[in-house]
Amino acid sequence: MSTATARVPAPAGSRRAAAIPVVLAFFSGPVGLVTKIGLLSLSNGLAVWAAYVLVDHRNWVALAVLAAATGLIDYVYLARRRTPAAKFLVPATVFLIGFQVVPIIYTVEVAFTNYSTGHIASKADAIRQIERVTLEPPANGKSYTAAPARDAGGNLVLVLRDDQTGKDYVGTDERLTALAPGTVTTGALGIASAKGYRLLKGNELFSLDKTLNSFVVPTAGGAGIRMQGLSQAVELRPTLRYDSRRDAFVRTRDGTVFHDNGEGSFVSATGEELEPGWKTFVGTKNFGSIIHNSAIRKPFLQIFWWTFVFAVSVVFLSFAVGLFLAIVLNKKGMRFRRLYRSAILIPWAVPGFLSLLVWQGLLNDDFGVVNRVFLNHVGLNVPWLFDGDWAKVSVILVSFWLTVPYFFLVSLGALQSIPDELVEAARVDGGGPIQIFRRVTLPLLLVAVSPLLIASFAFNFNNFNNIYLLTSGCPCDSAGGIAGSTDILISYTYKLAIATGKGQDFALASAVSIIVFLIVASISAVSFSRTKALENLA
Amino acid sequence: MSTAEVSAERAVSVPARPRRRRKLFENWWRHLVGIVALVVSLFPVWFVVSAAFDHSDSVSGTSFWPNIPTLANFTNILHNSVPDKTFQGHVDSAFGRWYLNSVVIALLTAFFTVILGSLAAYAFSRFRFRGRRTGMLFLLLIQMFPQLLLVVAIYLIVLNVGGVFPVIGLNTYTGLIVVYMGGALGVNAWLLKGFFDTIPKELDESARVDGATPGQIFWGVVLPLALPVLAVVGLISFVSTLNEFAIASAILQTKSHYTLPVGMRGFIDQQYGQRWGPFTAGALMAAVPATLLFLSLQKWLVSGLTQGSVKG
C-alpha cells in the first residue's frame, strides 16, 4: 500500500487513483486466494478441535450449535454467488453473538434466578453435598490411624488401625475387613507398611486427593469411614436422610422434615434452612425485593438517585466550564493560546485509570497534597475521601477535571463552525456581547453539542472507573451492606457480583443491570430520535 | 492559530512590539483564565513528577520539588524490587509484565475490532440485502448495551466455558481479548459505517467494471482509502481497552496476568503511605507514551469522538 493512499483522508486526487490498480492486483492474485483458503481451514480446524473437546465433555447441545455455525460459515464462503454481504458480516456476527448477545440473554436469564453464593449448583448436586457435609460421629464412633494403599488388584483401599483396640482392618468402598495381626506395622508417621498392600506416597497420593476426599468405607447403620487428613480416618454418619419419595430431607435425630421451598432451598417448618441450596428460577423475586425488601430498597434508591446526580453534575459542570474556556481562549491573535490549549487537554490525554489512582493519593486527608500543600496553609483540612458527602464532592470534582477537556474541544470546534457573518450581523443590528451569546451563539452551539451532552450523560451514568478507582464506592458503612456513599448503579452491580467479601449475588446484580440498561436505553432512544442516527438506517 | 498566522506575526514582531504588548494587556483577563486552567490541569502532573523522582515513598513526603532527587523509584518498579515496608523482602509486583500485557491486549483488540468492524460496516454501507435494516437496528441496540453492564454474565460465561475450553477461560489473555472484541464491535462498526458512507461509490463502481470482486474492492480500494479513519477508530478502541478495569479484573486472576489498571490498582490500593514513590514512577512511564500518542492524534480524534464515542 502506498503512503500516498494512506495519508489523504477524503477521496480525491490522481496519485491515489494510480495506486489503486497496484493494490487491487495484489489482492486479486494468488495471495487473496491463499489467504481465504488459509483462514477457512483455520476456522474449520478450530471447529474440529472444539468438537473433539465437546464430545469429550458430552456437551451435545454445544456440539450441535458448533456444527451448525461451522456449516453455515463454510456455506457462506464456498457457495457460488450467494449474497456477498454475508461474507462481510459473518466474522463480526460470530463475536457479537458470542460475547454481546449471549451475555445479554444470560443476564436476563440470571436475573430471574436465585444464582448466588449458596445457590450455585444443580439440585441433585446440592442434595449430594448436603448428605456429605452434614455428618457427625455416631454414638461410639471409632477413629483410625490410616493410610491409602493399593491392593494386589490395584484397587484403592484404606489400611486402618483402630486407635482404641489396636486391631487392623482394610477398607474398600464396599466393606470393612479385619486383617491378621502382624500384617500392618506402624512408625512415627502412622502406618509404615502392610503386607500385600502398596502404600501410596508422594505425588501419587496428592494426585488422588479428590478421589480420597469422596472415598467412603461403609459401616453399619449408614455410617462410613472417611479419611481426615493424610494419616487419620474417622467413622461418621449423616445426620440427615434424603427421602426421594417426598423430595425432602429428614433429620435422623428428631424427625424434622426439610421441604423444598420452591426457591432453591430445603427449609423446615420453623424456617431452618439447609446449606447449600441450588440454582433455580424464582420469577420476579429479585425485582420484587428491590421494591419491597427495605434492606435492599434503601441503598438501591440512594444509589439510584446519586447516579443521576453524579452524571448530571459532571456533564453540566464540565460543559459549562469547557464552553467558558473555549469562549475565553477562542480569541484570534491571543498569545500563548496553543500553550493553554495543550495544557487543558492534558487531563483528557493521560490514561484515565492512572489519573484516578493519582487523585486518590492527592486527596488523602492526612497526607494528600491537596490538604497538606494547599489547604492547610489557610487553616483547612477537608476529609476528601473519608466523609460520605465530601467523597461525593471529590468524585464529581475529579470526574469534572477529567471531562472538561472533552467539552472544551467540542465547544471550540462548534464555536469555530459558527459563521462569523451571523455574529457580525447581530452586532450590526445592535446586539450586545451577552445578548449575541444568548440569542445567536448558544442556540447554534447547542444544536451541535446536545447529542454529545446526552451521550456523555449516558457514559457517566455508567462511569465505573471514575467511581471505583477513586473511592471504590466508599466510604462504606461498616455496619454491613455492600453499598457505599459514592457507589453508582454499575459499581454497586460489580460489588454485588464480583468484588465483595460477603458472598456473590449474581442474580440481584443481573436484575440491577437490566434496570440500568432500561434507563440508558430510554436516554439513548431520546437522543437518537433527535439526531440523524436513525436516518442513517435508510 | 494557523502556522501562516504565526509566521506572519513573527515577521512583523520587531516593529509591532508596542502593539503586541497592548494586546497582551488588553487580553489580561483571558490570560488569567488561561493560567488558572493551566495550573488546575497540570498541578497533579507536577506533583506526580516530583514524587517519582523523590526519595520519599509516601504521599506525605511529596512536595513541590523532590527533597532528595533519585531514580530509585524507577529502577525499583522496573525490576519488581520495591521494598516492602510491612514485611521483609519485596512487594509482589510485575510492572513490566503488566505494561506488556496491556499494550499487547489493547493492540490486538484494536486491530481485530477494526478489521471485523470495517467488514461489517462495509456490508451495511454498500450492499442492499434482505435484513439490512433489521441488522442495523440490531447493531444500534447492541451498542447501547455497554459491555460493562454484562460483566456478571461475562464472568459466569467465561468461568463455565473455561471449564470446557481452558484457552478462553478465566485468567487467559485470549478470553479477555475475545470478550473485548465482542464489546467493541457494535460501536466501531456503527462509527465506521458512517465513514464508509462518505467514500464515493463511484470508486467501487469503477473497480467493479474492471472486474474486481467485492472482496478485492474492499481490501484494495475502500480499506486503503479509509486508513486514517481506521487509525482513529483503532486508537479509540486502543485507549478504551487500555483503561478498562472491571472486566479485566473479573477475568484475570493472577498477578502476572494482570493488565496495568488491575495491577497498578492492586499495587497502590491502601498503600499510599508506602508505595507512592514507585507508583508515581510507574504511572509516569505508562502515561507519557499514551499521552503523547493521544495529543499528537488529537485533531483526528475529535472528529471521531464527536461521531458518537466518548472518552472519560
Average per-residue pLDDT for chain B:
83
**CATH code of A404's domain:** 1.10.3720.10
State whether A315 and A400 are in the same domain: yes
Domain closes at, from B269, B286, B302: B269
Cα–Cα dist A436/A328, whole Å: 15
SS3 percent helix, strand, coil of chain B, rounded to 5, is 75, 0, 25
- Any chain A CB within 8 A of the CB of B96? no
pLDDT of A177 reads 85
Residue B20 predicted with pLDDT over 50: yes
Residue A318 predicted with pLDDT over 90: yes
Pick the residue of A26, A88, A329, A500 with the most B CBs within 10 A to test the interface with B by mutation.
A88
A254 located within any domain = no
* C-beta atoms of A107 and B150 within 8 A: yes
- Any chain A CB within 8 A of the CB of B103? no
State whether A341 and A478 are in the same domain: yes
Nearest Cα residue to A366 out of A389, A382, A388: A382
State whether A420 and A334 are in the same domain: yes
* C-beta atoms of B302 and A361 within 8 A: no
How close A437 gets to chain B, by Cα (Å)?
17
Nearest Cα residue to B205 out of A26, A11, A88: A11
Select the residue of A358, A366, A537 nearest B136 (Cβ to Cβ): A537
Q: Encode A273-304 in three state secondary structure.
A: ECCCCCCCECCCHHHHHHHHCHHHHHHHHHHH
pLDDT of B304 reads 55
pLDDT of B74 reads 92
A99 located within any domain = no
Q: Which residue of A has its CA nearest to B120?
A: A89
Domain carrying residue A70? 20-82
Which residues from chain A sit within 8 angstroms of residue B60, using beta carbons? 366-367, 372
B280 located within any domain = no
B252 located within any domain = yes
Domain carrying residue B229? 95-269
State whether B124 and B239 are in the same domain: yes
B301 located within any domain = no
**Which residues of chain B from 31 to 50 reach within 8 Å of chain A, CB to CB?**
31, 33-35, 37-38, 40-42, 44-45, 47-48
**CATH code of A157's domain:** 2.40.430.10
- Any chain A CB within 8 A of the CB of B220? yes
Q: Residue B107 in contact with residue B181, Cβ under 8 Å?
A: no
Kindly state the helix (H) or strand (E) to which residue A234 belongs, with its residue range: strand A232-238
B185 located within any domain = yes
Q: What is the pLDDT of residues A87-139, one digit of tens each?
A: 888 888 888 888 888 888 999 999 999 988 888 888 888 888 887 777 777 77
Q: What is the pLDDT of residues A266-309, one digit of tens each?
A: 888 888 888 888 888 888 888 998 888 888 888 889 999 999 99
Q: How many CB pairs under 8 A join A and B?
A: 353
pLDDT of B312 reads 35
Average pLDDT over residues B76-100: 86
State whether A450 and A530 are in the same domain: yes
State whether B107 and B9 are in the same domain: no
Backbone angles phi and psi of A357, in degrees to 5: -65, -35
Which residues from chain A sit within 8 angstroms of residue B271, using beta carbons? none
Cα–Cα dist B116/A93, whole Å: 9
Cα–Cα dist B114/B125, whole Å: 15
State whether A405 and A329 are in the same domain: yes
Q: Which grid cell is A162?
A: 483402630
A12 located within any domain = no
Which residues from chain B sit within 8 angstroms of residue A517, using beta carbons? 144-145, 149
Q: Which residue of B has its CA nearest to A104?
A: B150
State whether B100 and B249 are in the same domain: yes
A117 located within any domain = no
Give one DSSP letter per residue of A6-75, joined into a string: HH-SSS--HHHHHHHHHHHHHHHSHHHHHHHHHHHHHHHHHHHHHHHHHHHHT-HHHHHHHHHHHHHHHH
C-alpha B59 chain-centroid distance: 27
Q: Residue A493 in contact with residue A508, Cβ under 8 Å?
A: no
For chain A, the domain total comes to 3
Q: Is B131 left (phi over 0), alpha (psi -120 to 50) or beta?
A: left
Cα–Cα dist A510/B296, whole Å: 41
| Percentage of chain B modeled with pLDDT above 90 | 31
State whether A341 and A451 are in the same domain: yes
State whether B99 and B223 are in the same domain: yes
State whether B148 and B62 are in the same domain: no
Residue A536 predicted with pLDDT over 80: no
Nearest Cα residue to A391 out of A270, A472, A334: A472
Select the residue of B44, B245, B276 nearest A353 (Cβ to Cβ): B245
pLDDT of A216 reads 83
**CATH code of B242's domain:** 1.10.3720.10
Q: What is the pLDDT of residues B112-127, one digit of tens each?
A: 999 999 999 999 988 8
Q: Which grid cell is A464?
A: 465505573
Q: Residue A397 in contact with residue A404, Cβ under 8 Å?
A: no
Domain closes at, from A238, A253, A280: A238
* C-beta atoms of A520 and B210 within 8 A: no
pLDDT of A360 reads 92
State whether A436 and A501 are in the same domain: yes
Cα–Cα dist A320/A297, whole Å: 34
B287 located within any domain = no
* C-beta atoms of B27 and A466 within 8 A: no
B286 located within any domain = no
For chain B, the domain total comes to 2
State whether A310 and A221 are in the same domain: no
B310 located within any domain = no
State whether A344 and A482 are in the same domain: yes
A263 located within any domain = no
Beta strands, E only, B164-218: none
Cα–Cα dist A94/A116, whole Å: 29
Helix/strand/coil for A259: strand
Q: What is the pLDDT of residues A224-281, one digit of tens each?
A: 888 887 788 888 877 888 888 888 888 877 888 888 888 888 888 888 888 888 888 8
Helix/strand/coil for A534: coil
How close B101 gets to chain A, by Cα (Å)?
16
State whether A321 and A226 are in the same domain: no
The better pLDDT of the pair A367, B73 is held by: B73
For residue A29, count other CB atoms closer than 10 A to its CB: 11
The better pLDDT of the pair A499, B196 is held by: B196
Q: How confident is the model at residue A181 (pLDDT cuts 50, 70, 90)?
A: confident
How close A139 gets to chain B, by Cα (Å)?
42
Q: Residue A118 in contact with residue A263, Cβ under 8 Å?
A: no
Which residues from chain A sit within 8 angstroms of residue B295, using beta carbons? 342, 345-346, 349
Contact residues for A462 (Cβ-Cβ < 8 A; gap 6+) = A488, A489, A490, A516, A520, B146, B148, B149
A424 located within any domain = yes
Residue A214's Cβ-count burial label (10 Å; 0-12, 13-18, 19+) is: exposed
C-alpha A375 chain-centroid distance: 39
The better pLDDT of the pair B46, A13 is held by: B46
How close A58 gets to chain B, by Cα (Å)?
10
Q: Residue A465 in contact with residue A486, Cβ under 8 Å?
A: no
Average pLDDT over residues A366-376: 81
Which residues from chain A sit within 8 angstroms of residue B153, using beta carbons? 102-104, 106-107, 110, 510
Pick the residue of A22, A27, A529 with the most B CBs within 10 A to test the interface with B by mutation.
A27
